[in-house]
């Protein structure tokens, strides 16, 4: 091998998806040579090796935004006090979803994939990566005004408005008002149709079909399957979101964030400093309440979004959350697959 690959330490590599490009860590030296904004956060040892202070949120922000640009051609701005996403982990989650779609929901690689990212954050990181790397379409929801504005700007600055809809939502809702939003359904339906109807040249009939389907969509209660979903024509696709995903706020109070910091100290200091403001970390009732609501709303909408003939499911992946059943006593990362 002519170029020696620097591998991720075994402990981290164990959790890295096989298709994750960051199994091979990025070169800070290269990044510093290309991005002047990254340089101020680098220190050099006597051997010329570049080091980064992971405890400095500004250094983390520079690392993430420079990597997004270098590796995904994404121009992303993250406001000062907002959560800075760690790219290897965010990519992992998307790749797990891709696995689920391919293997559990039998999607073809040519299918138009539509997902929902609940709580997209200022960076809008999952939708941007999903659109740019995987060609998916996302509805990104956000309750926080600053994050909503920043996420919208990030989508626009990357010309991904055709692939990503950013929607401001009420904090009392998770999926309600999103999966049943008539405008969203219409846009996503038309997107799926565009590809699926490529070989269909009967445009007039299509327009009539669209009107009929949209009218039915708007008038069908969320827990009732639309009649078209039982048919075997292309109309079935319009009811379907392929997945929902969420990196939920973890804590029920600011005090709880402090107590978690203390328990982390007992387990050993984390490598990087936590970033993000209180709205991004705290939600009424904590993650258990949030996830319970998400599960209930997923169940409520399952008939509306499930498309039997395409064998696709609405799949909710909830990342990095403790078990619902044992009320926060277990901090292992868990994936819940709610159908
Ligand atoms: N997805 C991003 C941000 C996660 S932080 C990332 O992984 O980096 C959680 C985000 O969820 C915050 O931005 C918060 O404002 C938002 N949020 C909290 N409750 C929400 C709700 N009910 N619906 C949508 N977004 C919500």
Q: Which residue has the higher pLDDT, 337 or 104?
A: 104
Question: Which residue, 279, 277, 275, 281, is CA-closest to 249?
Answer: 281
**Start-to-end Cα distance in the chain:** 45
Query: Using H for helix, E for strand and C for coil, what is the string for 172-216?
Result: CCCCCCCCCCHHHHHHHHHHHHHHHCCCCCCHHHHHHHHHHHHHH
Residue nearest to atom 19 of ligand 1 (CA): 171
Q: Which residues line ligand 1 at a C-beta cut-off of 6 Å?
A: 83, 85, 118-121, 123, 125-126, 141-144, 147, 169, 171, 174, 247, 249, 279-280, 283
Does 142 belong to an annotated binding site?
yes
Predicted local distance difference test score (pLDDT) of residue 52: 94
Provide the 3-class DSSP secondary structure of residue 252. Answer: coil
* Residues making up the chain, counted from first to last: 339
Phi, psi of 140 (to 5 degrees): -110, 125
If you measure from the C-alpha of residue 182 to the centroid of ligand 1, how many angstroms do you get, rounded to a whole number?
23
Q: Which residue has the higher pLDDT, 73 or 278?
A: 73
If you measure from the C-alpha of residue 283 to the centroid of ligand 1, how many angstroms do you get, rounded to a whole number?
9
147-151, 205-209, 307-311: which has the minimum mean pLDDT? Answer: 307-311
Looking from the CA of 54 toward its CB, the CA atoms found within 13 Å total 10
Mean pLDDT of all residues in 82-101: 92
Which of 60, 81, 179, 249 best tests ligand 1's pocket when mutated (most atoms within 8 Å of CB)?
249
> Which residues are CB-contacts of 161 (< 8 A; sequence separation ≥ 6)?
155
Does 247 belong to an annotated binding site?
yes
If you measure from the C-alpha of residue 145 to the centroid of ligand 1, how many angstroms do you get, rounded to a whole number?
11
Alpha-carbon span 30 to 67, nearest angstrom = 11
Strands annotated E in 108-162: 114-118, 137-142
Q: Which residue has the higher pLDDT, 20 or 199?
A: 20
Mean pLDDT of all residues in 13-25: 89
Mean pLDDT of the chain: 77
Q: Decide: 238 and 195 in contact? Cβ < 8 Å.
A: no
Token pair for residue 322? 């403790």
**Ligand 1 atom with the shortest distance to the CA of 174:** 22
**Ligand 1 atom with the shortest distance to the CA of 246:** 1
Phi, psi of 109 (to 5 degrees): -65, -25
**Ligand 1 atom with the shortest distance to the CA of 144:** 15
Q: Decide: 115 and 244 in contact? Cβ < 8 Å.
A: yes
**14: pLDDT confidence band, cut at 50, 70 and 90?**
confident
Alpha-carbon span 119 to 295, nearest angstrom = 15
Report the sign of the C-alpha dihedral through residues 171, 285, 151, 247, in that order. negative
pLDDT at 69 over 90: yes
pLDDT at 159 over 90: yes
Predicted local distance difference test score (pLDDT) of residue 335: 33
pLDDT at 255 over 50: yes
Predicted local distance difference test score (pLDDT) of residue 32: 95
Q: What is the largest CA-CA distance in the chain?
A: 72
pLDDT tens digits, residue range 194-253? 776 664 555 555 566 666 666 666 665 555 544 444 343 444 354 468 888 888 777 777
- CA geometry: angle at 83 spanning 78 and 87, to 5°? 85
Q: What is the reported pTM?
A: 0.82
Predicted local distance difference test score (pLDDT) of residue 211: 67
Report the sign of the C-alpha dihedral through residues 107, 246, 314, 16, in that order. positive
Predicted local distance difference test score (pLDDT) of residue 201: 52
**Ligand 1 atom with the shortest distance to the CA of 117:** 1
Predicted local distance difference test score (pLDDT) of residue 247: 86
Residue nearest to atom 8 of ligand 1 (CA): 85
pLDDT at 309 over 50: no
Share of the chain above pLDDT 70, in %: 66
Predicted local distance difference test score (pLDDT) of residue 215: 66
Q: Which residue has the higher pLDDT, 257 or 144?
A: 144
Provide the 3-class DSSP secondary structure of residue 175. Answer: coil
> Which residues are CB-contacts of 33 (< 8 A; sequence separation ≥ 6)?
none
Looking from the CA of 41 toward its CB, the CA atoms found within 13 Å total 21
């Amino acid at each position: 091998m002519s170029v020696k690959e620097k591998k991720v330490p075994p402990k981290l590599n164990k959790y890295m998806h096989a298709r994750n490009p960051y199994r091979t860590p990025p070169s800070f030296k290269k990044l510093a040579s290309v991005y002047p904004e990254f340089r101020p956060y680098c220190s050099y040892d006597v051997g010329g090796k570049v080091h980064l202070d992971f405890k400095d949120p500004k250094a983390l922000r520079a690392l993430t935004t420079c990597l997004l640009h270098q590796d995904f051609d994404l121009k992303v701005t993250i406001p000062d006090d907002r959560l800075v996403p760690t790219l290897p982990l965010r990519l992992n989650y998307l790749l797990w979803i891709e696995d689920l779609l391919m293997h559990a929901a039998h999607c073809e690689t040519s299918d138009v994939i539509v997902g929902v990212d609940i709580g997209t954050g200022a960076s809008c990181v999952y939708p941007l990566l999903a659109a740019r790397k995987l060609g998916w379409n996302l509805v990104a929801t956000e309750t926080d005004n600053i994050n909503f504005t920043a996420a919208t700007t990030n989508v626009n600055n990357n010309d991904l408005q055709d692939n990503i809809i950013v929607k401001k939502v009420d904090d009392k809702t998770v999926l309600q008002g999103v999966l049943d939003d008539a405008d969203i359904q219409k846009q996503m339906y038309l997107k799926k149709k565009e590809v699926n109807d490529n070989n269909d040249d009967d445009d007039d009939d299509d327009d009539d079909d669209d009107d009929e389907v949209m009218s039915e969509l708007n008038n069908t209660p969320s827990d009732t399957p639309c009649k078209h979903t039982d048919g075997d024509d292309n109309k079935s696709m319009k009811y379907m979101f392929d997945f929902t995903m969420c990196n939920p706020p973890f804590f029920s109070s600011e005090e709880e964030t402090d107590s978690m910091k203390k328990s982390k100290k007992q387990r050993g200091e984390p490598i990087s400093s936590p970033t993000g403001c209180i709205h991004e970390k705290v939600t009424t009732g904590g993650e258990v309440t949030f996830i319970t609501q998400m599960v209930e709303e997923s169940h409520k909408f399952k008939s509306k979004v499930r498309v039997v003939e395409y064998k696709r499911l609405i799949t909710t992946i909830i990342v990095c959350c403790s078990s619902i059943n044992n009320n926060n006593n277990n901090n292992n990362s868990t994936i819940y697959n709610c159908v």
